[in-house]
């Protein structure tokens, strides 16, 4: 890898709608980067980080900032000029390449940029000022050790930024864990909490949503699904 190039997944850049979180339903360009510092058992993009998958090796790409900019601009297919161009940088864990992403932000002044992160890597000052963070802290159900998945100083920095905290859940005990390990110790803004049922199909997501919906209502959190899974299932680049 050249020092100023991005390590890009085989998905590269693709145009779709945001399927998760606070921007759900909006047209977006995704840029998927490779490599992650966590290993979630239920991850549906393992090919972006898992060295045991053939795709990790066969699909790797190295893009300069200029090439990445051109790919993003060519990928935007919305013909309505009044709509804000929106880029979602995802992974893997994008913030492992944060210094290079800073350079990309500089060359995309007309774009609204969302960064999807697991909340374990401190963003740059520029990112905190200009970007929206879709932070998905990992629970015990991810299979990662607590010391690796919870970084209080990062969560507190994101709590003060333009951000939301999206938690992947399966059962009610996950809701209790969110409060005990995240909301209470780090004083996370309740209005930024999104609960997302785990699953790769509409059926799985609905099943897990029914497991937690009453507890979510009781706590006053926001329950959102995965729109892209409802529409396309586990298909890539959507």
The yes-or-no verdict on residue 103 having pLDDT over 80 is: yes
Domain of 151, in residue numbers:
6-167
Instruction: Retrieve residue 193's tokens.
Output: 């909490």
CATH number of the domain where residue 37 is located:
3.20.20.70
* Closest of 11, 198, 195 to residue 94, by C-alpha: 11
Q: Which residues pair with 165 in a beta bridge?
A: 135, 193
| Whether 86 contacts 27, CB under 8 Å | yes
pLDDT for 142: 95
| Whether 133 contacts 117, CB under 8 Å | yes
Tell me if 88 is assigned to some domain: yes
Q: How confident is the model at residue 196 (pLDDT cuts 50, 70, 90)?
A: very high
pLDDT for 162: 95
pTM: 0.94
pLDDT digit string, tens, across residues 38-70: 999 999 899 999 999 999 999 999 999 999 999
Distances (CA, A) of 221 to 42, 167, 175, 212: 23, 11, 10, 11
Tell me if 223 is assigned to some domain: no
Which helix (H) or strand (E) segment holds residue 90: the answer is strand 85-90
pLDDT digit string, tens, across residues 197-237: 999 899 999 999 999 999 999 999 999 998 988 888 777 77
pLDDT for 235: 73
Tell me if 215 is assigned to some domain: no
Tell me if 20 is assigned to some domain: yes
Which helix (H) or strand (E) segment holds residue 126: the answer is helix 125-130
The yes-or-no verdict on residue 171 having pLDDT over 90 is: yes
The yes-or-no verdict on residue 133 having pLDDT over 90 is: yes
Tell me if 37 is assigned to some domain: yes
Tell me if 180 is assigned to some domain: no
The yes-or-no verdict on residue 238 having pLDDT over 90 is: no
pLDDT for 138: 98
- In the chain, how many domains are there? 1
Tell me if 148 is assigned to some domain: yes
pLDDT digit string, tens, across residues 120-131: 999 999 999 999
Tell me if 1 is assigned to some domain: no
């Amino acid at each position: 890898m050249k020092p100023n190039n991005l390590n890009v997944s085989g998905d590269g850049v693709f145009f779709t709608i945001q399927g998760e979180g606070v921007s759900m339903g909006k047209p977006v360009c995704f840029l998927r980067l490779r490599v992650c510092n966590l290993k979630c058992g239920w991850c549906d993009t393992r090919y972006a980080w898992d060295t045991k998958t053939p795709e990790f090796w066969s699909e790797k790409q190295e893009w300069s900032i200029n090439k990445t900019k051109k790919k993003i601009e060519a990928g935007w297919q919305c013909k309505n000029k009044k709509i804000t161009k929106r880029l979602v940088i995802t992974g893997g864990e994008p913030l492992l390449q944060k210094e290079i992403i800073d350079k990309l932000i500089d060359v995309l002044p007309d774009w609204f940029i969302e960064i999807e992160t697991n909340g374990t890597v401190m963003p740059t000052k520029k990112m905190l000022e200009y970007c929206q963070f879709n932070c998905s802290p990992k629970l015990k159900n991810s299979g990662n050790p607590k010391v690796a998945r919870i970084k209080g100083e990062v969560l507190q920095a994101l709590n003060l930024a333009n951000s939301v905290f999206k938690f992947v859940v399966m059962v009610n005990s996950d809701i209790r864990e969110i409060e005990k390990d995240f909301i209470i110790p780090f004083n996370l803004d309740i209005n930024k909490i999104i609960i997302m049922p785990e699953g790769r199909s509409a059926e799985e997501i609905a099943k897990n949503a029914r497991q937690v919906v009453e507890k979510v209502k009781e706590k006053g959190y926001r329950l959102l699904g995965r729109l892209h899974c409802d529409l396309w299932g586990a298909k890539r680049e959507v």
